[in-house]
Amino acid sequence: MTAPAFPAGTILGYPRIGRRRELKHAVEAFWAGRIDADELERTAADLRAATRERLAALGLGRTDSAIPESFSYYDQVLDAAVAVGAIPTRFERLLDADGRLDLTGYFTVARGEGADAPLEMTKWFDSNYHYLVPEIGPDTAFAAHADALVAQVREAREAGFVTRPVLVGPVTFLLLAKAADDAPEGFRPIERLADLVTVYAELLAALRDAGAEWVQLDEPALVSESIDEPRERVLDAVGAAYDVLGAAEARPAIFVGAPYGSLDDALPALAATPVEALGLDLVRGTAPERLDGVTEEALAAKTLVAGVIDGHNIWRGDLERAFAHAEALRSFSGDVAVSTSTSLLHVPHDVEDESALDARLVGWLAFADQKVAQVAVLARGLAEGREAITAELDAASASLADRAAAPGVRVPAVRDRLAALGADAFARVDYDARVAAQEDLALPALPTTTIGSFPQTADIRRARARLVKGELTDAAYRELMREEIARVIRLQEELGLDVLVHGEPERNDMVQYFAELLDGFAVTQNGWVQSYGSRCTRPSILWGDVSRPAPMTVEWSQYAQSLSEKPVKGMLTGPVTILAWSFVRDDQPLGDTARQVALALRDEIGDLEQAGIRVIQVDEPALRELLPLKRADQPAYLDWSVGSFRLATGGAAPATQVHTHLCYSEFGVVIDAIRELDADVTSIEAARSRMEVVDDLSASGFDHGVGPGVYDIHSPRVPSVEEVQSLLERAVGAIPAGRLWVNPDCGLKTRGYDETVASLANIVEATQAVRAGA
C-alpha cells in the first residue's frame, strides 16, 4: 500500500480528564446515579470535540491525522481489552447478545461488584498512572468490538477532522496481561498472540472503513526490562504481530509508538516489519547518534517520529536541543516528524490556568498545551528550516538561561552543606546498640500500631476547604485540627494500641503538605493529572534548591504526644516519595535533589527529637515506584534512593526509633535496598499475599523490626479476630516475636470510622491472644 503522509507534528496522547476535571465529575456523577449514560456520553463527546478544536488551534493539522483520539472513560488498557473482547468470565453476565458491554458494565469491570473483584490495577511503566491488568487464558474468546473506536473517527469526521485512533498495541497488551485464574499452571498470555493479532487486523480494517488514514499502536512494553518474559520471545512477538498486521490489505497506515525509553534491540525487530512509522522516545531513550547501524537501511524506508518534547515533565526545556535531535534523525530517514516523547497524559492541561504561580516560574513551564505548541514550532522548523523558528528557539533558550540564574534555583548555603557531608552522615550506630538504647520505650511483645493517617472525615475536608476560601481563620482551623488529634489519641488509648499516631488530619496529601512548607516548591491551582480512573493528583513543582524555613510537623506531634503516656510517632514523608509524587527539576541529577530534601527532613527529625518525640516514621511508599525500567539504571537509582533515606534518618539518636512504611509486598529487586534503609522498624503490605513477604524478608537476611500488615485497608471489610490471629501466628513462625509488629497494611485516611474502630479492636484482641499463647 502507499501510505498517506505522516503529519509533520503530532503528540502521542492528550490529557482526557478535562481542563476542569469535567470527565471526572461526570463519571462520578454517573456512578452516583445523578446523571444517566446519555448525559455522560454527551459530556465525553463535548470533551473530545473541545480537545480536537484546541489541538488544531495550537497548531496540529485538522485533516492530516495529527490529532490522536486518546480519549478514555477510565483507562486505555481496559479500552483495548473491551475492543478485543477480553472480558474475564466473571463479568460475562454483563455482556449483551453481541458480546458488548454498556457503560455500566464497563465501569463494573474497572471497579468490581460484590464478590466479583475488579481487574487488578498496577503502575504504567515509570509514570504515576495506573492501568487495569487484562486477564487472559487459553479460552479467552477474542472478538473485535470496533464500535467505540469507529464512533470517534466518525464523530471527528463529522466535525471536519481526520484524526488518528490510538490503541494499546497487541504485544504490549499481552505482555501487561496476567494469566486468568482458571488458566493452567505455566500459561503465558503471549501464547495467544496469533489469535489476538487476527482481531487487531479486524479492528484496523473497521477503522480504515470509517475513514482513518493512520492508526497509532502503543508498544511501551518493548522498552521495559521489567517485563516478565524472555527478551527473545518479546522480539519474536514483535515480528510475528507486525508482519501480520502489516500484510493486511485494507488497513490504515500503522504508527508504532514506543514511549518511556529506548527500543534497543526491538528497534531492528520493528524496522524489519512493514509498519510505516516508528516513534522513538528521544528524551528517555536512545540519542540519535546511537541508533543501531544495522537497521539503517530498514529505517530509511520508515517515517521516524522523533519524540523530542518531554511528555513526562512540566518544563519548557531545551527546545534547541530537541530540534537538533529531531534533525539528527534525518540522517537515518528522509521522512522525520516531531512528537512528544510520551502521551501528555502525565502533565496538566495548561499553564495559562495558573494565575497564582510566580510569573517568572510560569515562563519556565510547559504543560500539555504549551508542549503541543512546541511540537508545532519544531515541525515548522523541520519543514522550513531553522531560520523559520529562530525567534521561538531563542525565546526558549533565554527562558532556560533565566531559570538557571534565578534566585532560589541554586542556593549556595544548601549546596555547601551537602558538599561538606561525610560518610558518617549516612549511618547510625549499630542496630543492636539502638535496640538497647530504645529499651526504655518499654514496648510489649508484638507492639500494635497504625501507619499514620486516621479517616479524613467530611468535617476535616470541609474545614480545610473553608480555610482555603478564607472562611476560617488559621487559628480556628488549627483549633479544629487539635480537637481532631485529641479525639484520635483518645480513641487509640481506648482501643489499647501501643504506639500511637496523631492521625494526620492537617495533611491534604502526604507530599503536598511538605511541598507547601519547604522552599524550592510551588503548588498549582489546576495542575491535575490522572492517577487512575477518575482519580487525579495535583503534584507540586519542585523547581529550586530545597530547604526548610521552619519546622513542619513538630507542633502537631508535640501536641499529640502531650496527650498520652504512650509513644506517639512523628510522621514524615521520605525524600524518594516526595520526588516521585512531585514534578521535579530536570536540571540536576535526581539524587542531588533527593539529598536536599533529605537534609530538610533530617533537620525536622532533630527538632522532633528535641520536642520529646521518641518514635519517628519516614514513609517511602514510592521507593519501588521510581525504579528505572532499564536494569542498567537500577543500581545507581537504588544507591541514591537508599542514600537519601539514610541521610534523612542518619542524624537520629540511637534512642530514637526510626520506622519506615512501604506500600507493596512484591519487593523483587528492591529487597536488598529495603534492608539497607536500616530503619529500626519497617511496615509493609502483606495481608493480600497472606504474609508471604515475611518469608522473603527473612530469606534476604532482614533482621530488624518488621510490621507485615495484617489487614487490607483498601476495602471497608472488617477482618475477624481469628483471621488476624492466624496471620500473626504465621508471621511469628518466620520472624522472632521480639521483632514483629502488628499493624494494618497502610494508612486509614480513605476509610470510615465504623470499620476502622472495629478492625483495630479486632487486631488488638488477636494480638493479645497470640501474646497469651506465645
Q: 487 to 516, contacts with ligand GLN by CB under 6 A?
A: 504, 510
Nearer to Zn ion, 588 or 750 (CB): 750
CB 747 within 8 A of CB 714: no
**Residue 747 phi, psi (nearest 5):** -65, 160
**Which residues lie near Zn ion (CB under 5 A)?**
621, 663, 746
Q: Which of 720, 762, 714, 715 is nearest to 742 (CA)?
A: 762
Q: How far apart are CA 226 and CA 205, in angstroms?
A: 33
| Cell, residue 505 | 488530619
Closest residue to ligand GLN, based on beta-carbon distance: 747
Q: Which of 701, 703, 618, 702 is nearest to 652 (CA)?
A: 618
The response to whether 536 counts as a known ligand-binding position is yes
Q: Residue 552 interacts with ligand GLN (CB under 6 A)?
A: no
**Cα 330 → chain centroid:** 34
CB 110 within 8 A of CB 78: yes
Nearer to Zn ion, 118 or 621 (CB): 621
| 88 contacts: CB under 8 Å, gap ≥ 6 | 109, 119, 135, 180
The response to whether 378 counts as a known ligand-binding position is no
Q: Residue 453 interacts with ligand GLN (CB under 6 A)?
A: yes
Q: Residue 747 interacts with ligand GLN (CB under 6 A)?
A: yes
Nearer to ligand GLN, 443 or 572 (CB): 572
Among 126, 213, 619, 680, binds ligand GLN (CB under 6 A): 619
**Is 714 tagged catalytic?**
yes
The response to whether 23 counts as a known ligand-binding position is yes
In this structure, what DSSP letter does residue 544 have?
Answer: E
The response to whether 24 counts as a known ligand-binding position is yes
Q: 554 to 593, contacts with ligand GLN by CB under 6 A?
A: 571
Q: How far apart are CA 649 and CA 653, in angstroms?
A: 9
The response to whether 452 counts as a known ligand-binding position is yes
The response to whether 105 counts as a known ligand-binding position is no
Q: Residue 451 interacts with ligand GLN (CB under 6 A)?
A: yes
Nearer to Zn ion, 647 or 663 (CB): 663
CB 9 within 8 A of CB 66: yes
Which residue among the candidates 25, 130, 659, 714 is catalytic per the annotation? 714
619 interacts with, out of Zn ion, ligand GLN, none, CB within 5 to 8 A per kind: ligand GLN
749 interacts with, out of ligand GLN, Zn ion, none, CB within 5 to 8 A per kind: ligand GLN
| Cell, residue 529 | 493529572
CB 303 within 8 A of CB 4: no
Residue 230 burial (C-beta neighbours within 10 Å; 0-12, 13-18, 19+):
exposed
- Minimum Å gap between C-beta 89 and ligand GLN is 33
- Minimum Å gap between C-beta 451 and Zn ion is 6
**Cα 774 → chain centroid:** 42
- Minimum Å gap between C-beta 594 and ligand GLN is 18
Nearer to Zn ion, 621 or 650 (CB): 621
452 interacts with, out of Zn ion, ligand GLN, none, CB within 5 to 8 A per kind: ligand GLN
- Minimum Å gap between C-beta 69 and ligand GLN is 34
The response to whether 619 counts as a known ligand-binding position is yes
Point out which span in 212-220, 339-347, 631-639, 742-750 binds ligand GLN (CB under 6 A). 742-750
**Crossing angle, helix 37-57 and helix 103-111, to 10 degrees?**
90
539 interacts with, out of Zn ion, ligand GLN, none, CB within 5 to 8 A per kind: none
Point out which span in 247-255, 328-336, 522-530, 745-753 binds ligand GLN (CB under 6 A). 745-753
709 interacts with, out of Zn ion, ligand GLN, none, CB within 5 to 8 A per kind: none
Q: How far apart are CA 155 and CA 695, in angstroms?
A: 55
Among 85, 252, 268, 452, binds ligand GLN (CB under 6 A): 452
Expressed in percent and rounded to 5, the helix, strand and coil fractions of the chain are: 45, 15, 40
253-257 and 214-218 beta bridge pairing: parallel
- Minimum Å gap between C-beta 625 and Zn ion is 12
| Residue entry with cell 503490605 | 685
Nearer to ligand GLN, 122 or 397 (CB): 122
- Minimum Å gap between C-beta 585 and ligand GLN is 24
CB 771 within 8 A of CB 446: yes
Residue 697 burial (C-beta neighbours within 10 Å; 0-12, 13-18, 19+):
buried
Q: Residue 749 interacts with ligand GLN (CB under 6 A)?
A: yes
Residue 433 burial (C-beta neighbours within 10 Å; 0-12, 13-18, 19+):
exposed
Q: 647 to 676, contacts with ligand GLN by CB under 6 A?
A: 661, 663
Point out which span in 220-228, 278-286, 451-459, 561-569 binds ligand GLN (CB under 6 A). 451-459
196 interacts with, out of ligand GLN, Zn ion, none, CB within 5 to 8 A per kind: none
3-state secondary structure of 306: strand
- Minimum Å gap between C-beta 744 and ligand GLN is 9
Q: Looking at this protein, which amino acid is placed at residue 366?
A: A
**Cα 297 → chain centroid:** 38
Q: How far apart are CA 762 and CA 293, in angstroms?
A: 64
Q: How far apart are CA 120 and CA 132, in angstroms?
A: 6
CB-hemisphere CA count at 13 Å for 39?
Answer: 12
Q: Looking at this protein, which amino acid is placed at residue 103?
A: L
The response to whether 22 counts as a known ligand-binding position is yes
Q: Looking at this protein, which amino acid is placed at residue 96?
A: D
Catalytic residue numbers, as ranges? 714
Annotated binding site for 5-methyltetrahydropteroyltri-L-glutamate: 21-24, 123, 535-536, 581, 625
**Residues forming the site for ligand GLN (CB under 6 A):** 451-453, 504, 510, 571, 619, 621, 661, 663, 746-747, 749
Instruction: Please give the annotated binding residues for Zn(2+), written as ranges.
Output: 661, 663, 685, 746
The binding site consists of 21-24, 123, 451-453, 504, 535-536, 581, 619, 625, 661, 663, 685, 746
Indicate the annotated binding residues for L-homocysteine.
Answer: 451-453, 504, 619
